[in-house]
Each structure stands twice: as structure tokens, then as C-alpha cells.
């Protein structure tokens, strides 16, 4: 693994906008000295590295499924701040194995050893268009003889075709709280993959989904029953909404309710309990840092690097935010590797239960957040 510089393509901004990253300006605050999409640099991997990473993330995913089964079988829902009223529904969703689509692992990796799990974005992961589409066309334009860890698009289409969903259109729901357009474009891309798989689809805002009290069903703006829906709206928000008690029992949601077990950072501590000392894990606890002298406190339901606190012998760093009311997990802190002053996080994609691709975000800081740049990668042919 190494970081290389290269000349951006002429008109790169218009190119990526045409490929669905219309939000790259809005997603990046003014005053930063580099763009959200940065193709002036990229990372290079060997095929052996990628094959090892694929095996590692599939093992991590299998461990996460074991952790979900453990949470359900032992009733540890309170550790994840799942409301008491929803626990039985989460358990039933897991026991039914309600259909799931995709997820993203965030990993620390420096090219010298096993990747370390930082967290699992198993419910509403974004940066999908960048990973699946834009960097693939960057590769074809700039390094056509090389390869890329990227079968996301094909696997998504195949997965939609495998799902046994109720009759009628699959609704794709975004939230009007999306200020940059990233979620809307992610949703539009996923809707396109579903249509390529032969499904009938419809788009709707979460805020426009109605509840038909008489017939006990969700409906769209045309009064059509919503039997299945993909949502870019976290389950913890749904459970806190007034319609949450209906949502857990009506309609087929993707991602399913049991993904609330994996998208919660309490998962990190439970994994460490079940697989202590595993080379792909960092030590993590729910009741405090214990023996850790360097650790990061992560809110159980935090997002985009907000409300985190890094504690080391050298001092403490914090990020702003309003998360943390549900509690924190305390994870051993291992600083992201330094490549030319930038610190990458590898986002390894899962489609269903198989590793499918890689996206990389990098920043000069110790915590990857929504200002971090996305950079492409390639696999060098030997």
C-alpha cells in the first residue's frame, strides 16, 4: 500500500458531477484547501493485499453476525440503548433473518498487517457513489491496465434480484433533512441498481410517508400501500419517531430492523468480549476505559466523527457534536497511519455477506469526519 500523486483529469469536476457526485461542493465546507473528491492523489495496492483484506472483512462480518445472535439470545438490548418496547421486534427481525442489502466497514490499515476494525456502518452507509461508480471511471480513464477492488455495482444488482420482497413497487425513501444532496444521490443510485435488477420502484421522502390508521398500513402520497422500502434513515431515528412503533411491525424495510444491532458502536465492545485479542479488533469496553491508557470514547449512536474524545498520555482531543446521550464505548486508540501527512481510513463494502469493494477517505486529523476527502485507489498489475 502506497500513496501516489497524479494529475487530475481535465474537467474532473464536471465528470464526477455527471456520474452522480453533484454534491461534492456542498459536502465540503468553504475554506478547506482540498476538494471533497481528490484525484490528485490515490492509493496503490497489490493483489495479495486486497485478497487478504477481502478475507479479513468477510471474517469480521461473520463475527458481527455471531455478535448479533449473542445480543438476541442473551437479551442485551439495553447495552445498545434499544428501547424496551422494540427489543422483541428486533429479536424477531433477526430470527426471521429479514433481508439485508449492504454495509461498510471502516478500517485502520497501513499495509503491514491485519486491518483493525474501527466501526461498522451497517444501516445507512454513504460514499457509495464515489466507491462504486466514480472511482471506477477514474481508473478506466487514468490507469486502464490496472484493476480495482470494486464489484459493488454488479453485486448490488445481483442482490436486489435475490431478495424476496412483497409485491408492488419498492419505495426508496430519503429525508428532507439532507442539506447537501448526498443522500438523495445515494438513494437515486441504489434505486437505479434495483431497477436494473428488474424491480419496480418509487421515490418518496420519509416525511411524506403516511400511516393509514384504518387499514393499518403505510402509504405514499398517492395512497398506495408501501409494502417494502429502502431507507437512508437510521433505525435509531425511526424508533424515536411517532410512527416507530408501526414501522417495526409493518412493511419490509431495507436495511432491516436487526441492523440496529450492528450499526451501534456497542458492537465493538461485544465483539471484544466474544473474540478477545482477535488481530482484527481493538480492545473496547462499555463500562469505561479499564486498562487502556490511550483510548477513544465514541457515542453509541454517533455519526460522522462527531462527539468523540481521544485520550492519550499526551493529552485529550475532542470533536464537537450533540451525540452521546445513550452512552459511549471506549475503544483502544491506535492512530491512523500517516501517508505524506494524510491519514486514510479504508471503507470496505459488503453486499449481502460478501466483500465487494473499497473506498478511502483521508484527513490530516486523527478522526475522519464529513470534511475528509475521498480519494480513489487501484490495484497494480504485477
Q: Give CA–CA dist 382/154, Å, rounded.
A: 25
Please report the pLDDT score of residue 336 as a whole number.
Answer: 95
C-alpha cell at 90: 428486533
Please report the pLDDT score of residue 26 as a whole number.
Answer: 62
What is the per-residue pLDDT across 127-140, written as a single tens digit (0 to 9) for each? 999 999 999 999 99
Closest CA to 337 of 315, 362, 319, 372: 362
Closest CA to 256 of 247, 264, 265, 246: 247
Q: Give CA–CA dist 358/290, Å, rounded.
A: 33
Q: Domain locations in the chain?
A: 2-264+337-379, 283-332
Task: Indicate the Cα dihedral angle 136, 139, 145, 150, nearest 10°.
Answer: -30
Please report the pLDDT score of residue 309 as a whole number.
Answer: 94
Residues of the chain with pLDDT under 70: 26-32, 179
CB burial of residue 348 (10 Å; 0-12, 13-18, 19+):
buried
Other Cβ atoms less than 10 A from the Cβ of 145: the count is: 8
Closest CA to 64 of 334, 255, 281: 281
Q: Give CA–CA dist 146/149, Å, rounded.
A: 11
Beta-ladder partners of 343 = 363
Peptide bond connecting 205 to the previous residue in cis, omega within 30 degrees of 0: no
Peptide bond connecting 255 to the previous residue in cis, omega within 30 degrees of 0: yes
What is the per-residue pLDDT across 81-118, written as a single tens digit (0 to 9) for each? 999 999 999 999 999 999 999 999 999 999 988 999 99
C-alpha cell at 64: 458481527
Contact 275, 63 (CB under 8 A): yes
Please report the pLDDT score of residue 381 as a whole number.
Answer: 87
Q: In this prediction, what percent of the chain has a pLDDT beyond 70?
A: 98
Q: Give CA–CA dist 274/44, Å, rounded.
A: 34
Please report the pLDDT score of residue 42 as a whole number.
Answer: 98
Amino acid at each position: 500500500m502506497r500513496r501516489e500523486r497524479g494529475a487530475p483529469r481535465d474537467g474532473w469536476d464536471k465528470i464526477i458531477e455527471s456520474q452522480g457526485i453533484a454534491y461534492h461542493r456542498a459536502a465540503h465546507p468553504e475554506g478547506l484547501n482540498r476538494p471533497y473528491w481528490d484525484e490528485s492523489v490515490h492509493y496503490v495496492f497489490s493483489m495479495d493485499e486486497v485478497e487478504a483484506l477481502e478475507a479479513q472483512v468477510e471474517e469480521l462480518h461473520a463475527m458481527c453476525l455471531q455478535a448479533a445472535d449473542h445480543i438476541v439470545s442473551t437479551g442485551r438490548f439495553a447495552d445498545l440503548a434499544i428501547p424496551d418496547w422494540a427489543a422483541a421486534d428486533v429479536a424477531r427481525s433477526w430470527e426471521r433473518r429479514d433481508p439485508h442489502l449492504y454495509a461498510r466497514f471502516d478500517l485502520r490499515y497501513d499495509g503491514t498487517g491485519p486491518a483493525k476494525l474501527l466501526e461498522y456502518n451497517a444501516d445507512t452507509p454513504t460514499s457509495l457513489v464515489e466507491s462504486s461508480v466514480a472511482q471506477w471511471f477514474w481508473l478506466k480513464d487514468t490507469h486502464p491496465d490496472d484493476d480495482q477492488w470494486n464489484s459493488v455495482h454488479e453485486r448490488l444488482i445481483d442482490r436486489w434480484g435475490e431478495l424476496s420482497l412483497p409485491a408492488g413497487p419498492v419505495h426508496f425513501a430519503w429525508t428532507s433533512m439532507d442539506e447537501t444532496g448526498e443522500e438523495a444521490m445515494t438513494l437515486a443510485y441504489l434505486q437505479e441498481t434495483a431497477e436494473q435488477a428488474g424491480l419496480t420502484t418509487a421515490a418518496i421522502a420519509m416525511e411524506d410517508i403516511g400511516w393509514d390508521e384504518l387499514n393499518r398500513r403505510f402509504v405514499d402520497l398517492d395512497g398506495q400501500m408501501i409494502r417494502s422500502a429502502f431507507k437512508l434513515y437510521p433505525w435509531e431515528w425511526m424508533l424515536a419517531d411517532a410512527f416507530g412503533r408501526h414501522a417495526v411491525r409493518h412493511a419490509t424495510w431495507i436495511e432491516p430492523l436487526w441492523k440496529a444491532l450492528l450499526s451501534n458502536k456497542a458492537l465493538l465492545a461485544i465483539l471484544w468480549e466474544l473474540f478477545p485479542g482477535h488481530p482484527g479488533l481493538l480492545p473496547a469496553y462499555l463500562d469505561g476505559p479499564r486498562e487502556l491508557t490511550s483510548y477513544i470514547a465514541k457515542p453509541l449512536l454517533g455519526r460522522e466523527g462527531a462527539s468523540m474524545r481521544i485520550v492519550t498520555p499526551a493529552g485529550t482531543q475532542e470533536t464537537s457534536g450533540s451525540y452521546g446521550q445513550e452512552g459511549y464505548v471506549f475503544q483502544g486508540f491506535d492512530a491512523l497511519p500517516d501517508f505524506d501527512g494524510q491519514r486514510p481510513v479504508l471503507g470496505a463494502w459488503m453486499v449481502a455477506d460478501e466483500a465487494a469493494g473499497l473506498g478511502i477517505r483521508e484527513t490530516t486529523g486523527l478522526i475522519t469526519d464529513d470534511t475528509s476527502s475521498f480519494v480513489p485507489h487501484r490495484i497494480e498489475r504485477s
